[in-house]
Structures are given as structure tokens and as C-alpha cells.
Amino acid sequence: MSIATQVHRKTRADLPATGTAPTHPRLVAWLDEVVDLCQPDAIHYCDGSDEEYEQLVTVLEEAGTVVRLNDEKLPNSIYARTDPDDVARVEDQTFICSEDERNAGPTNNWMAPAEMKRVMTKLYDGCMKGRTMYVIPFCMGHIDAKDPKFGVEVSDSAYVALSMRIMTRMGVEPLKAMTDTDADFVPCLHSVGMPLEEGERDVAWPCSETKYIVHFPDERMIWSYGSGYGGNSLLGKKCYSLRIASVMARDEGWMAEHMLILRLISPEGRKYHIVAAFPSACGKTNLAMLEPTIPGWKVETLGDDIAWLRFGDDGRLYATNPETGFFGVAPGTSYETNPNAMRTIAKGNSIFTNVGLTRDGDVWWEGMTKDKPEDILDWKGRPWSGSTGPQGGRKDEKAAHPNSRFCTPIEQCPILADDYHNPQGVPIDAIVFGGRRENTIPLVTQSRNWKHGVFMGATCSSETTAAAKGAVGVLRRDPMAMLPFIGYHVADYCQHWINIGKKADEAKLPKVFYVNWFRRDDDGRFMWPGFGENSRVLKWIAERVDGRAEAVETPIGFIPAAGSLDVEGLDLPEEDLRAVVSYSPQEWHDEVPRIGRWFDTFGWRLPRELVDELRNLEVAVGRAPSSMW
């Protein structure tokens, strides 16, 4: 990577440094290269301590990037506003740079690794001038796991360092474990892409118009440039734990998935472990912390975004959460919809980004309270009032950006399951896929078997949300909710799912379900109340796992038989209930060709098993099988 073009380039030895420099030989060599390339003014080796947190908050405060929130309301918490153009993941600028283009597949952007490195090396050259470079050692998953997954992020953003401390096991402990075992690590290079010339004043949220979020799956390396926003800059999260880890998982026989993990406990005390894959901003965080409305049932949280699934010695699949925090969507989160998220945040130690700020140093966002506040600052820093909108803006402009987020430690979650601390994870009873569909997809469907479950996952679709830059509400296929996160060819990824099924006893495999909380009526209203009421669906799933609840077989799988879904005390007209639960032959008649067109994009690598499933479905809904297959 080194391009020593100038004469007076600084080396690591020239830089003022704070913290303890690492000794891990390959890390040392890599840091030397990064310094040579990026030319920071100073270097800080993160230890993850409370004192460091304090120092970095002060640095960010002085730079105008964050303000400290009211200590009585949200102790030890801070508030950040991003550049209005740096608010979400940038999928258009996200690349999988495999050596062979065919391994990136039709769903990823690709550039030859050597070419991408040329482009980015130019951008990185001198990109940290005037800034401090933070060295952030971390581990995704337990440090004492059988095969711990280490990484080191180098970033010129203190906001990133602080967020990584919440979201990952970060600092001296992972560094020591990595060094003691001479373990490999994923090098993660991040820069906001805004060097400062001598004497140049910084802006509150430095970033660049040019953005690249790049993965080198063959080398297991991540390069990110130009954005400070979470999903683009906290490289342990989506970049490592999904895109790079999905490639590791393919090679090592496990699965890295975009899933929440929860434990459901019946009134009799029977425990069920459920993982659920929904696209970004489609309800993972909410379901993970749900408060059941049905008496006697309880939910405990294990994770809200990412699950790593491995076979245990007993032949069952076990799930662990590689993260240590929640990076959750703020709008819509309230004591009514997600009280456990509110309680987690209320303990403080959190970072809030792009929400509204009250005059007394508290946060507010749409949906948090019924009444809108009168005099706060919006996410752009303008005075904002619930009745008139922002000063100088339109009345309907929101106080919080739709993708504004809270970043908060998982250990503060009042319903965290004890097994969160268990490196083995929990044995999975059910896998649930879901998406945001205004029609076609019923409230809950169970697959006939694993293979049919993989078909369900592979054909998942959802209307796009504000979590990624681009139009909102556009229907797209989102296989296993992994469309923007699969680090290789989508067809090979689906094949990997099928192969996982072949490795196990069907009886030991989790049962597979597909849910949709988002069906709408003719007036565009959600028909299903959702949130805590989703416990009724979880209960049906648990009873299906036990082979108890009754179901009706339809061409798309099993749906609840009349009376098998617990609706006691549910305030929902009978005809609405029927509409959300039912299978609509007409809608599926229209859906099938859309699935065919989606599979067409896979090319010749499309797994045979998926073709067979589509054929069966075509026949079952009364369409002639497409001649293509």
C-alpha cells in the first residue's frame, strides 16, 4: 500500500503518541504502512478505559462534533449531528472487491482489487493530515470463543472510536488476546476523508463527498473512506460481522446473518430460541426486546442485529451475537412501542445521532411522546417546534432524521438473557424471515421443510427504508435480509444455506417461518397492530416448534388454522384479522413471475433446489412452469 512519494513523510516514530503502542508484529507493520500513507498529526492507541472515553468526549466537544447531554436525564451520554449528506449507509458506493469478479455476483458492486487500491490509495494519501489517528483493537464475539474474530480499526474519527467501544469488545483485552496468541486480525482502515491544511479550521462533522465502503474478501480487509455515519464507519458491524464474516462462514461451515436473537419463555417456563432476519429498519430491534401482550409469556434479548450461527456438538445450530451494543433506529421508539429500548437508553452511556435536542439537554424524536415539544433544536440544529416545524423550513419537516440512531450498551438492557455471556450461544428452535410488504405476504407462514425455508428466505422482499441512501418505499428482493451484506455471490450464498441443511438432521434443524407485520388496508393503514402484539405470532411459532398449534397447508406453506393464533384480548376486527393472516391466490399468482425474474438474475449458479421449489410453487398457484427452468 505504501506510496512514499514525498520526501518529508512522517513515520510512526515521528508522531506524538498517547496510549500504549502494540507489539503484535503484523499489526505493527500494518500501522507503519497506514501512517506512511495517511500522514496523521498524532496517534492514539485506544485502551477502552473510562478515562479514555472522557478524553475523547472532550476532544469531540471542543471540535463541536458532540455536546454532552443532561447528566441527570441521560448520564454520561452525548449528542451528535452529522453532515446532512452523511446520514445512512451508501449502498451505491459499497464494493466487494474479490479477485474474481464472478465471486461478487449480481447483487454487489465490484472493481478489481488492484484497481480499487489504486483509486483509494490516492484518496488515502495524506488524508489524515491535521488529525489524530485512533488505533482501535476489537474482537467480534467473545474473546474466549474457540476461534475469536479479531480486528483492528484505524480511524481519524474519535466518534468512531467511542462508538466502537459501545458496539464491540474493544481496547486492551482484545489486543492482549490477539498478541498473546499471535492471532490474525482483519485490518479495517477508515478515514472521514477531510485532511486539514496547516491552520485550517475543522468543521463539526468532517466527511467527504467521495465515499467508498470497500471489502477485500480474499484478503479479509476493509477500507472505508469519506463517511462518518455508523454503518459506513463502525467497521466491526456490517462490514466485518456480515460482509467479511459471511465469506469466512462460507469457507468454515457456519453462517453470518443479519438477525436478532431472542429467548421466548412460555408460562410453563419452556424456553425457545428464535432468530429473525428483517431488512434494515424493519423491526429487528423492536422484536428483540418485545414485551408480550399475552399473559405469562416473556421475552429476553440476546441480540438485535447480527447473529453468527454454528453447529454445536449435538448437531443443532447455535446463535451468538458478535456485538456488545445496540445501534438502533430512534424514531418510533417509545415507552409504548419498545419500553425496553427506552429503559436501556435511560441508563445513559449512550451516543445519540441526528435526533432532536431539547433546551435542557435531553433528546426527542418523532413517536417518542404523543405530544410534540414546542421549543427544541432539530437534527440540523435549527430551532424547531411541533406546531410550526423548523425555523426557516417547512412545517412537515421532522425534528429527527428518519435514520437517526441511538448507540447504547447491550448490558444495560433490562431483559438481557444470561446466555448472552455464553460463548457457545443458544440452540435455535426457529428462524424467522420478514420484510415490509403492503400486500401478498401473510402475517406468518411456516415452511414445509428446510429447503422450502431457504426458498422463502431467498425470495424475501421488502419496501426500502431510510436506513440506506436512496428512494424509500421501493419493493426489492432482499434474500435473508442480507442483500446489502452478502460478501460474495448471492447464488453461492443461497447454496451455502442449502448445504448447511444437508449437514444436519432435518429434525434437529430450526423450523423456518416468514412473517410480515406491514400489510396495509385500502387506506394505507397497517392492519396488524405489531410491536407487543407480535408475541401472538411468536407464541404460534413456539407451538409449531412443539408440533402443537394447528395449521393449514397452502401453496406457500403452513398458515395458522382458524382459532390457532391466540387473539384473546386483541383489539382487531375479525375481517382485518382474516385479511392479515390469509393466503391470497390472486396476489401470489402475480408474485410468482416476480420471483422468476429475481432468480433469472442469479445466472447459472442458481441452486437447483431453488428452481425445484419455484416449479412447485408455480404449479400450486396454477401457473404454467416457466420454460426457462
Ligand X SMILES: O=C([O-])CC(=O)C(=O)O
Residues that bind ligand X (CB under 6 A): 89, 230-231, 237-238, 280, 305, 327, 467
Choose the contact partner of 337 out of ligand GTP, ligand X, Mn ion, none; CB within 5 to 8 A by kind: ligand GTP
DSSP assignment, residue 244? I
* Beta-strand pair 426-427/317-320: antiparallel
- Angle, CA 203 vertex, CA 198 and CA 205 arms, to 5°: 130
Q: Is 534 in the site for ligand GTP (CB under 6 A)?
A: yes
Q: Is 531 in the site for ligand GTP (CB under 6 A)?
A: yes
Burial 378-416 (b: 16+ CB within 10 A, else e): bbbeeebbbeebbeeeeeeebbbbbbbbbbbbbebbebb
Is residue 261 a contact partner of residue 310, using CB atoms and an 8 Å limit?
Answer: no
The residue whose grid cell reads 472521514 is 192
Nearer to ligand GTP, 191 or 350 (CB): 350
CB of 11 to ligand X, least distance (A): 35
Catalytic residue among 127, 139, 282, 413: 282
Annotated binding site for Mn(2+): 238, 258, 305
Annotated binding site for substrate: 89, 229-231, 280, 403-405
Nearer to ligand X, 138 or 384 (CB): 138
Beta-carbon neighbour count of residue 427 at 10 Å? Answer: 17
Q: Is 331 in the site for ligand GTP (CB under 6 A)?
A: yes
Q: Is 278 in the site for ligand GTP (CB under 6 A)?
A: yes
Strand partners for 520: 526
Q: Comparing C-alpha atoms, which of 334, 329, 348, 332 is closest to residue 73?
A: 348
Amino acid at site 222: I
Nearer to ligand GTP, 323 or 429 (CB): 323
What crossing angle do the helices spanning 490-503 and 245-252 adopt, rounded to 10°? 40
Q: Is 340 in the site for Mn ion (CB under 5 A)?
A: no
Burial 268-291 (b: 16+ CB within 10 A, else e): eeebbbbbbbbbbbbbbbbbbbbb
Q: Is 328 in the site for ligand GTP (CB under 6 A)?
A: yes
Nearer to ligand GTP, 300 or 613 (CB): 300
Strand partners for 433: 277, 514
Q: Is 79 in the site for ligand GTP (CB under 6 A)?
A: no
Cell of 169: 469488545
Nearer to ligand GTP, 171 or 331 (CB): 331
CB of 510 to ligand X, least distance (A): 22
Residue 282 falls in the annotated catalytic set: yes
Annotated binding site for GTP: 281-286, 405, 436, 531-534
Binding segment for ligand GTP (CB under 6 A), chosen from 65-73, 385-393, 494-502, 525-533, is 525-533
Q: Is 353 in the site for Mn ion (CB under 5 A)?
A: no
Q: Comparing C-alpha atoms, which of 103, 108, 105 is closest to residue 91?
A: 108
Q: Is 285 in the site for Mn ion (CB under 5 A)?
A: yes
**In angstroms, rounded to a whole number, what is the distance separating the alpha carbons of residues 547 and 550?**
8
* Beta-strand pair 17-18/42-45: parallel
Binding segment for ligand GTP (CB under 6 A), chosen from 17-25, 110-118, 283-291, 482-490, is 283-291
CB-based closest residue to ligand GTP? 530
What does R_g of the chain's alpha carbons equal in angstroms?
24
* Residue 507, SS3 per DSSP: helix
CB of 530 to ligand GTP, least distance (A): 2
Residues that bind Mn ion (CB under 5 A): 284-285, 328
Give the active site residues.
Answer: 282
Interacting residue ranges for ligand GTP, rule: CB under 6 A: 278, 280-286, 304-305, 328-329, 331-332, 337, 467, 517-518, 526, 530-531, 534
